[in-house]
Amino acid sequence: MKIVVDWDRCEANGVCVRAAPESFHLDDKDQLHVLTETVPPELRAKVDKAILGCPKQALSLSED
Amino acid sequence: MSLQTPSHPPTVSFSPDAPGYVLDPYPALEALRTKAPLYYWPEGRGWLLTRYEDAAAVLKDARRFSPNRAEWEYASVLGSAAMIPELVELNKAGLFALSGSDHARVRKLVSPALTPRAIERLKPELQVIIDDILNDLAGRDTINVVSDIADRIPPRVIGSMLKIPKGRETLFQRFTEAAVKSFLPGLLRPEEVAVMRTDVQEGIALVRETIEDRRRNPLPDDILTTLIQTEEQGDRLSTAELLSLVSALIVGGFETTIHLIGFTVYNVLKRPELLAQVQAQPELLKGVVEEVLRFDNFGKMGIARYALEDVEMGGVTIKKGQMVLVMLNSALRDESVFPNADAFDVRRNTNASIAFGHGMHFCLGASLARLEVQLVVETFIKRFPALRLAKEPSFGPHPVIRKMETLEVQLNQQ
Ligand code: HEM
Ligand code: SF4
């Protein structure tokens, strides 16, 4: 499972960073970075919360 | 589980004006949540949703639930539009009511100004405002935190963000109150409406003036200038949208912040052991603010959505055009999501909190509100180490907020 970001949608509000700080980071230019592109099983629940919580629906998981 | 149909009304009732509700709405909310989690409230002419799961689902379901009051079955009779035509103009383009691509477009333009980093950069400016307001308290013995501190912060902060000439920001206050109250027009007295209309008119005039002034005198690194120039480069933001946007910052950011400051100070001061911990470790305040929003939410009611089609939920049918009040205050005490929900625990995990909403209308000002409130409370506590509660707070009438009117605290040792 890989985290996919729709960059056009992301508004850098940091909701995902609060939900899963191990997997998401906002730099000081408000650019989002995915720290764990492949989601380790122990972070899956947090990443799911981040995806669900994203106000812009900018996050998803892809199979490959 | 019992099914509720109109022929078998649940044996609960809901009266937010009952004595005691504003002080402690939680027993009433718990009764709803456990006995009738989807309850049609005849007086408010809408459904009350009190479970976390239903609340989150409705807020996430933009296809079937709109925040646009015009979709309400009673919009033409009870909508604020019917009573205050000026609000039609504001609501038409206001972020709160927009949906789909219109919403995304406007939100995209304003969101860069409110990201966590952008807000972090405002910190020195915020600190100056806070210090200035606290300086005015020097020599006082007992103060009212609501009027002496909380009320004065957001006008200065938003005024500073929009670079409004000092002194004029306070004019925003009544405009905000009117616009916030208009959210539940069914509960307003007719004589209130006339006064509100004047406040709304004056508020709109002030915002319009500010926009025009900035058009003539653009400023560097300025939110309003950026928004105006974006408007003029392409057909991106109309004047109506600009007006709505500025109003949204005022409406969304004033009373909320004022109350979060009051409720946070109260929740800390009424727990002397917590006050001592926060004095020793100010970084605890982050968790305190989140827990105050969860455990003692200043919301009296909930946030409104209007069904765009018939929706089956939890054994009831929400009809097209009906209003749903998503009771965040209740959802935030739902045991199934927050174990031991009725305990105040500043170290709990509040990641699931929906105090700032959920889904596409998630609060744009969340980072600002969090930083603002943390800084105010931290500075206040540091400045007055002997701070203590003088009296329990008093509450006044308000259709949607548990309106804290006075919070008297003693600043110095007697
Ligand atoms: C204590 C502080 C605050 C709380 C608890 C709060 C809560 C909320 C909630 C629950 C929503 C969602 C409304 C809905 O879904 O219908 C919202 C939206 C919004 N808030 Fe806040 N808010 C706070 C402070 C602020 C501040 C300081 C600002 C502005 C600077 C602000 C601006 C907004 C705006 C513009 C929206 C609409 C976003 C949209 O529709 O896309 N809020 N807020
Ligand atoms: S929650 Fe969504 S919009 Fe916000 S920073 Fe993360 S990806 Fe971007």
Domains and CATH numbers, chain B: 26-410 (1.10.630.10)
Q: Can you tell me the ipTM of this complex?
A: 0.89
Residue numbers of the domain that contains A14: 2-62
Full-model pTM: 0.90
Domain count, chain A: 1
**pLDDT tens per residue across span B102-145:** 788 788 888 888 899 889 989 999 999 999 999 999 899 999 99
User: Given pLDDT bands bounded at 50, 70 and 90, which one contains residue B240?
Assistant: confident
Mean pLDDT across chain B = 87
- Cβ of residue A15 closer than 8 Å to a chain B Cβ: yes
**pLDDT tens per residue across span A14-61:** 999 999 999 999 998 899 999 999 999 999 999 999 999 999 999 999
Distance of CA B186 to CAs B75, B182, B190, B352, Å?
10, 9, 10, 31
Query: A56 vs B360: CB contact, 8 Å cut-off?
Result: yes
**pLDDT given at position B2:** 46
For an interface test with A, which of B60, B105, B293, B362 has the most A Cβ atoms less than 10 Å from its Cβ? B362
**pLDDT tens per residue across span B168-190:** 666 666 676 666 666 555 556 77
Angle at B336 between CA B334 and CA B342, to 5 degrees: 45
List the CATH number of the domain containing A54.
3.30.70.20
Query: A12 vs B359: CB contact, 8 Å cut-off?
Result: no
For an interface test with B, which of A7, A31, A51, A56 has the most B Cβ atoms less than 10 Å from its Cβ? A56
- Identify which has the larger pLDDT, B282 or B70: B282
Residues near ligand 2 (Cβ within 6 A): A 5, 10-16, 32, 54-56, 58-59
User: Given pLDDT bands bounded at 50, 70 and 90, which one contains residue B20?
Assistant: very high
Question: Helical H runs in B254-339?
Answer: 255-269, 272-280, 285-295, 328-331
Mutation pick for ligand 2 pocket among A11, A22, A34, A36 (CB with most ligand atoms within 8 Å): A11
Cβ-count burial B265-285 (b if 16+ within 10 Å, e if not): bbbbbebeebbeebeeebebb
Q: What is the mean pLDDT of residues B317-322?
A: 97
**pLDDT tens per residue across span B243-286:** 888 878 877 888 899 999 999 999 999 999 999 999 999 999 99
